[in-house]
Structure 1
Amino acid sequence: MSSSTVVRQPCPPGACNCERDHLLAQPAPDLRILGLTRQAEKVMLEHLENIQSLDDLQRMQRRMYEQLGIRVQVEPGFNEVRTMRGIEIRVADQPGLCRKTRQSIPAAIRRALEKRPEIAYKLLDSHDLLRDT
C-alpha cells in the first residue's frame, strides 16, 4: 500500500468487531475497505439517502462493491411486504468493515425508500410482485 493512500483510522479497542487486524495480517489482503474514511463514508451515505431511482440504487451497489468490496443486497423479504421494514437490506460480513458502517448503510437505504416509495415499488415489481396472481 502506498503512503499516499488515505486509510481509515482504527476503531477504539473493544468498540467494534471489524477485524481490521485480521485483515492486515492476511498475506494478500483486499485493503479497498480501509480507504473508506469517515468523510468518504458520510458522502457515500448521503448518496444512498438521495437515490432517485432503482437504477441509482443498483449503480450505488455496484460502485460500493467495485471500489470498496462491500456487498449489499436489497430485496423483498420472505414474507409479505407491507412497509419498508419488509424489504431486506443485507450487508455482507467483511473484514475491515466497521460495525457502525454496516448498520448505517441499510438505514440510509431505508430512508431513501421512505422518501421515494416508487423505488420500493419498482424493486418489488423487479422481483415479480404479481407472481401468485
Structure 2
Amino acid sequence: MSQSPPLRHPCPPGACDCDRERLLQEPDADLRILRLTRQEEKRLLERLENLQSLEDLEHMQRRMFELLGLRVHIAPGASEVRSMRGIAIHLEPLPGLCRKTRQAIPAAIRRGLERNPEIAYRLLDAHDLLGGA
C-alpha cells in the first residue's frame, strides 16, 4: 500500500483565494503545489533568503518548477532599477498556491538579493543593463 505525500492544510475560510478544494476535486489536477506544507515552505523561504549566486537563484527557480509546478520570473523592472524593489519578481498564477505564499516567495528572494547584492548586479548584467561596466 503506497502512502501519498502530506498535503498542505487548508487555509481558513475566506482568508485565501487558492482554490484548494476545487483543485482537489479535479481528477487530473496537478497537486504538486499542495505538497508544499508550511514546514517545507519555511525551508524554501530560508533557502531563498540565503542565495549564494545567480546560478543558485536560477537553480532554485528550476527546482520550484520541477517539484511544485511554480514558475518564478525575475527580471529588472520596466523603469530604472535603483534598489531591490526595482527588480520585478513575478509568480505565474497557479491554482492551489496560497495567497501568503504568493507574497512570501518574492519577499524572500528580495531579502536574498539584499543580503548578497552581487546576485542583483549579475542579474542586471545578464539583461545588459550595466552595459558591461
- The aligned counterpart of 1:36 is 36
Equivalent residue for 1:60? Answer: 60
Write the letter of the residue equivalent to 2:43: V
Over residues 71-91 of structure 1, what are the superposed CA-to-partner deviations in whole Å (9 max), with x where a residue is unaligned? 101100011111110000011
Q: 5+ unaligned residues in a row in structure 1: which ranges?
A: none
C-alpha distance in structure 2 between counterparts of 1:101 and 1:57, whole Å:
18
Q: Does 1:5 align with 2:27?
A: no
Q: TM-score, normalised by structure 2?
A: 0.94
In the alignment, the residues of structure 2 paired with residue 61 and residue 130 of structure 1 have an alpha-carbon distance, to the nearest angstrom, of 23
Post-superposition shift, 1:99? 0.3
Provide Cα deviations, 1:76-127, integer angstroms capped at 9, x if missing partner: 0011111110000011111100000000000000001111111000000001
Aligned length: 131
SS in 1 for 2:89: strand
Please say if 1:129 is aligned against 2:129: yes
- The equivalent of 1:106 in structure 2 is 106
Q: With structure 1 as the length reference, what TM-score do the two structures score? A: 0.94
Q: Quick one: distance in 1 between partners of 2:97 and 2:81?
A: 29
C-alpha distance in 1 between matches for 2:103 and 2:50: 17
Residues 31-84 of structure 1, C-alpha deviation per residue, up to 9 Å, x if partnerless?
101100000000000000001000000000000000001110110001111111
Displaced runs of 4 or more, over 4 A = none
